[in-house]
Amino acid sequence: MTFLSAKAVSLAFGSTLALRGADLTIDAGEIVAVMGPSGSGKSTLLHCLAGILVPDAGEIHALGRRIDDLSEAARSELRRDRFGFVFQFGQLVPELTAEENVALPLLLGGVRRDPALRRAREWFGRLGLDGLERRRSGELSGGQAQRVALARGLVGEPAVLFADEPTGALDSLTGEQVMELMVGLARHQGTTVVLVTHDARVAAYADREIMVRDGRVTTPAVAS
Provide CB contacts within 8 A for 111, sequence distance 6+: 103, 119
Domains of the chain: 2-223 (3.40.50.300)
**Predicted pLDDT of residue 219:** 65
159: part of which helix (H) or strand (E)? Answer: none
User: Where is 87: in which H helix or E strand?
Assistant: strand 83-87
Alpha helices in the chain (DSSP H): 42-49, 72-82, 98-108, 113-126, 142-154, 172-189, 200-203
Asked if residues 150 and 127 have their Cβ atoms less than 8 Å apart, the reply is yes
pLDDT at 198: 87
Contact 210, 33 (CB under 8 A): yes
CA distance 109 to 111: 6
Tell me what pLDDT residue 16 has. 92
CA dist 197 and 182 (Å) reads 14
CA distance 66 to 68: 6
Over its length of 224 residues, how does the chain's per-residue pLDDT go in tens digits?
569 999 999 999 999 999 999 999 999 999 999 999 888 899 999 999 999 999 999 999 999 999 999 999 999 999 999 999 998 766 899 999 999 999 999 999 999 999 999 999 999 988 889 999 999 988 998 889 988 999 999 999 999 999 998 888 788 888 888 899 889 988 998 999 999 998 899 999 999 999 999 999 986 544 43
Question: Which DSSP string corresponds to 52-71?
Answer: SS--SEEEEEETTEE-TTS-
Report CA 81 to chain centroid distance, whole Å.
14
What is the C-alpha separation between 205 and 16, in angstroms, rounded? 32
pTM attached to this predicted model: 0.90
At a CB cut-off of 8 Å and minimum separation 6, what does 134 contact?
Answer: 97, 98, 99
